[in-house]
Amino acid sequence: MNHDNYDPDDRIAALATPWAESAIAVIRTSGEGSIGAVDALFSGDLLSCESKKMCYGMIRNPESGDALDEILAVPFRAPGSYTGQESVELYCHGSLPGIQKILTLLFNKGFRQASPGEFTFRAFINGKMDLTRAEAVQEIISSKSGKAQSMALNRLSGTVEKRINQFKKTATVMAASFAIQLDYPDDEVEAPEPPLAELADMKTGLKQLIDSYQVGKIYQEGVVIALAGRTNAGKSSLFNLFLKEDRSIVSDIHGTTRDYLESWISLSGIPVRLYDTAGLRHSDDPIEEEGIRRTRELMENAQVILYVLDGTVELSDEERALISDESRQELLVWNKADISSRDIPHGVIPVSAVTGQGFSELEEAVKKRIFKDSAGAAGDAVIDSLRQKELLERALSGVEKVEEAIHNGLPVDILAMDLYDVLQALGEITGEVSSSDIMDTMFSSFCVGK
């Protein structure tokens, strides 16, 4: 993206809905003079239409007078619009040639095609939103799960921005105190207590927000869970229980599942790609062997492995080894608990794929395992952008440096410099301090019309 092409004084237009046939398509415009320019193509009276109210009329080719479409147009007067500029939104019929014709008319009328993210870019430079909110717009558009979307909506309302502003306030107060000490170096003012408590608080808060990146990723991208274990343990039965449908074939014949099956499920809003796999046993059948090889491969790539044990039969050596391995990655499931009379080993979750007993405890254990790396993540403030995470890490390392410098009795000008770094990183997150690089990486990933 080149900023010269991002001139905010230009009048821009773009299709805001997908480029596909649909019932209704929305064309968005922005820039001073938009209302007048659209009005010249419109049979209704857009100039006297109230802001944010729909106005009905025909779009006409001003030269030929031909009517192109029957539409609803909404004028927005500055600053009461998404971009903060004068804008018009056009609700037209979703035929591709029709949309194309209207866009061509607009382009002939002095609008230019908007670049990806340009509407949001304008909202940002007009102070309508800070960078964390601008990023949230993109995340809302691309979020796969309902939970991910509601987290992005939270960001849009500024939860992350509020947290960052708290950090900034603390750091600014600290910086002011350092500045006073720099201005009056010799005992004229008594040196205040070093702000160790504030630094520790800031560290905790920053770490929480950094950890929340994992949570955001999980809801956004989902996790892979594989059911594994010996033949006949009940993997396919559990798979069906997770799906709440009879997808996988269940039978008492060992080796029923030969190739893996997969399905998306939602585990309390977490998108999960669940795999049912071929039972692990020695086999001379080359097809079953291949199935087992694939199972092992899947187990390596899964974030969570549910290793299913058959509660009604003797444990194998491999299973015993797993049970006694304290550092195992697998979650062990003791299936057929409804008819098992054997002692359940410690740390193994009893369930019945037939009666459903123990299933909610299993779900809880799976969720806990998924979030194991992000324990204590920060409430509703969840970040979902690598850019924000890296800047938070930079701020954290700055805070740690200040702490270290205090412990080592370094002079206050060194502390002030490290603290400046912290403020700089925090400022970049919300966009007060911003390089053109940020603009490029951020806004160019948007879709046109946003």
Interface with Mg ion (CB under 5 A): 236, 256-257
Cα(442)–Cα(434) distance, integer angstroms: 11
251 binds, among Mg ion, ligand GTP, none (CB under 5 to 8 A by kind): ligand GTP
Distance of alpha carbon 140 from its chain centroid, rounded? 8
Cα(384)–Cα(422) distance, integer angstroms: 20
**Least Å distance between CB 331 and Mg ion?**
18
Sheet holding 223-229, edge to edge: 261-267, 270-276, 223-229, 304-310, 331-335, 349-350
Could you say which of 99, 171, 228, 250 contacts ligand GTP (CB under 6 A)?
250
Cα(328)–Cα(323) distance, integer angstroms: 8
**Least Å distance between CB 236 and Mg ion?**
3
What Å distances lie between residue 71 and 40, 54, 59, 383, 440, CA to CA? 14, 10, 7, 39, 35
**Least Å distance between CB 13 and ligand GTP?**
57
**Least Å distance between CB 100 and ligand GTP?**
54
116 binds, among ligand GTP, Mg ion, none (CB under 5 to 8 A by kind): none
Cα(204)–Cα(395) distance, integer angstroms: 12
**Least Å distance between CB 277 and Mg ion?**
8
Which one of the spans 152-160, 214-222, 346-354, 401-409 is the region binding ligand GTP (CB under 6 A)? Answer: 346-354
The answer to whether 251 contacts ligand GTP (rule: CB under 6 A) is: yes
339 binds, among Mg ion, ligand GTP, none (CB under 5 to 8 A by kind): ligand GTP
Nearer to ligand GTP, 250 or 370 (CB): 250
DSSP of 90-154? EEEEE-HHHHHHHHHHHHHTT-EEPPTTHHHHHHHHTTS--HHHHHHHHHHHH--SHHHHHHHHH
**Least Å distance between CB 235 and Mg ion?**
5
Could you say which of 57, 234, 291, 398 contacts ligand GTP (CB under 6 A)?
234
Helix/strand/coil percentages in the chain, nearest 5: 45, 15, 40
The answer to whether 237 contacts ligand GTP (rule: CB under 6 A) is: yes
Nearer to ligand GTP, 132 or 237 (CB): 237
The answer to whether 252 contacts ligand GTP (rule: CB under 6 A) is: yes
Cα(93)–Cα(71) distance, integer angstroms: 7
Pattern 161-200, ligand GTP, x by CB under 6 A? ----------------------------------------
The answer to whether 289 contacts ligand GTP (rule: CB under 6 A) is: no
Count of residues interacting with ligand GTP (CB under 6 A): 22
Residue partners of 80: CB distance under 8 A and separation at least 6: 51, 52
Q: What element of type H or E holds 266?
A: strand 261-267
Could you say which of 168, 235, 369, 389 contacts ligand GTP (CB under 6 A)?
235
What Å distances lie between residue 400 and 191, 342, 406, 446, CA to CA? 21, 53, 10, 35
**Least Å distance between CB 106 and ligand GTP?**
59
The answer to whether 345 contacts ligand GTP (rule: CB under 6 A) is: no
Could you identify the residue written with the tokens 């009329």? 57
Could you say which of 85, 212, 232, 385 contacts ligand GTP (CB under 6 A)?
232
Asked if 310 contacts 230 with a C-beta cutoff of 8 angstroms, the reply is yes
The residue number with the shortest CB distance to ligand GTP is 279
Which one of the spans 120-128, 248-256, 284-292, 294-302 is the region binding ligand GTP (CB under 6 A)? Answer: 248-256
**Least Å distance between CB 254 and Mg ion?**
9
| Maximum C-alpha span of the chain | 88
What Å distances lie between residue 171 and 261, 374, 407, CA to CA? 53, 25, 18
385 binds, among ligand GTP, Mg ion, none (CB under 5 to 8 A by kind): none
Cα(13)–Cα(88) distance, integer angstroms: 9
Cα(89)–Cα(26) distance, integer angstroms: 7
Could you say which of 170, 257, 374, 385 contacts ligand GTP (CB under 6 A)?
257
Tokens standing for residue 251: 């039978």
**Least Å distance between CB 318 and ligand GTP?**
15
> Residue 334: what are its φ and ψ, rounded to 5°?
-95, 95
255 binds, among Mg ion, ligand GTP, none (CB under 5 to 8 A by kind): ligand GTP
The answer to whether 255 contacts ligand GTP (rule: CB under 6 A) is: yes
The answer to whether 283 contacts ligand GTP (rule: CB under 6 A) is: no
Which one of the spans 7-15, 21-29, 81-89, 331-339 is the region binding ligand GTP (CB under 6 A)? Answer: 331-339
Residue partners of 281: CB distance under 8 A and separation at least 6: 230, 231, 254, 255, 292
Nearer to ligand GTP, 312 or 434 (CB): 312
The answer to whether 30 contacts ligand GTP (rule: CB under 6 A) is: no
Residues that bind ligand GTP (CB under 6 A): 231-237, 250-252, 254-257, 279, 335-336, 338-339, 352-354
